[in-house]
Amino acid sequence: MIAEYLATEYTLNSLLPTWFEVFAVLRKIAPDDAFITAYDREHMAIYARLVSPHDAEADWIDTAILILGLDVMADEAAAFACFQSHTERALWVATEGYRQALAEAGLSSPS
């Protein structure tokens, strides 16, 4: 079964809509507010997926394509700006913004 899967040719573009459609549309640039926004709440799953590749120093192009669903070849500069802003926002949410999200949910953050 795995051999059949590996032998089948899939283009990345044919796979992305199936996975990516479950998420809201990405802005070209993530918000940079000092508080959790509705956009942040809608994109928490994406933010969570961005933190690990950042920590592992993964290639930005792979991350932009696989996690954000960006067409890097169409406009590399715009894709990088989108990737960078969303990664920065993901790191902010993971280090600071989560406290606000927990407070809104009536939970306390760990000390």
* CB 40, CB 62: distance < 8 Å: no
Task: Say how far apart CA 5 and CA 9 lie, in whole Å.
Answer: 8
**Continuous segment of H or E residues that includes residue 15:** helix 12-20
Dump pLDDT digits (tens) for 56-97. 788 999 999 888 888 899 999 999 999 999 999 999 999 999
Dump pLDDT digits (tens) for 28-50. 999 999 999 999 988 888 898 89
Residues near 44 by beta carbon (within 8 Å), at least 6 away in sequence: 93, 101
